[in-house]
Amino acid sequence: MTLCPDSTVSLISPSIVNHAFCSDAPLKLGIMASGNGSNFEAIAQAIKDGQLFAEIQVLIYNNPDAYAAVRANNWGVPSILVNHRDYKNREEFDKQIVQILQQHNIEWVIMAGWMRLVTPVLLDAFPNKIINIHPSLLPSFKGTHAVEQALSAGVKITGCTVHLLSLEMDSGPILMQAAVPVLPDDTPETLHARIQIQEHRILPMAICALLSSEAIALAVQTQP
């Protein structure tokens, strides 16, 4: 476990890896985002800083106004709009996504604020190779508005979770979590901002940890 040196102490488990994964070639990542794209930027920055030995091959976004596309352009990463409104069903939508990811020779798919449910079409194309980040300590507060759910429930601690994706929403083996205290005067905006600080910390490091097959095996074995 790692205590983070923030003004509000947070707890991360398992401990953050402090070095990049050693490999002959960088890991080829495909990132999917629906909105602001701050987690995309955190991954790009971790790569630049040498904390993660990887390359972002492509960003896929589903909302035309997603700021994630602007961030990708700033980092020189190709971005492709796949608007879910243009497809008759989720399967056709995922089929197009799979085609793009395969064209870019993606090894791992990172859902960094992707707000669409997936189908077996995507999961079967990248078995145990898709990870997601969610703004709660799963299995608590699945789905949308997780921060608001935590405030409504009156919990004193919430946080964020990186997990392997499964067909059930916000499920799958947990890889890394960061706990964030809920302060008495928190609003959804203030709490979400502090959770995002931890998202930006644990997502790149969870990707790094995933490069060890032992990490994947441990997560699967400990899943209830």
Q: Is 147 annotated as a binding residue?
A: no
For 70-87, b/e burial (b = at least 16 CB within 10 A) is: ebbeebebebbebebeeb
Whole-number Å distance between alpha carbons of 56 and 47: 9
Q: Are 60 and 101 in contact (CB under 8 A)?
A: yes
Q: Is 38 annotated as a binding residue?
A: yes
Q: Is 90 annotated as a binding residue?
A: yes
Query: What distances in angstroms separate CA 1 from CA 17, 28, 88, 207, 212, one per listed residue?
Result: 11, 28, 45, 17, 19
φ and ψ of 156, to 5 deg: -100, -15
Tokens at residue 156, please? 């004193």
Bridge partner list, 157: 181
Q: Is 115 annotated as a binding residue?
A: yes
Q: Is 30 annotated as a binding residue?
A: no
Q: Is 159 annotated as a binding residue?
A: no
Whole-number Å distance between alpha carbons of 171 and 141: 11
φ and ψ of 48, to 5 deg: -60, -40
Q: Is 121 annotated as a binding residue?
A: no
Q: Is 194 annotated as a binding residue?
A: no
Active-site residue, 134 included: yes
Nearest to 200 by CA among 8, 11, 17, 46: 46
Catalytic residue among 19, 104, 134, 192: 134
Q: Is 1 annotated as a binding residue?
A: no
If one counts every other C-beta atom within 10 angstroms of the C-beta of residue 14, the result is 16
The answer to whether the peptide bond before residue 139 is cis (omega within 30 degrees of 0) is: yes
Known catalytic residues are: 134
Question: Annotated binding site for (6R)-10-formyltetrahydrofolate, which residues?
Answer: 90, 115-118, 132
Annotated binding site, which residues? 37-39, 90, 115-118, 132
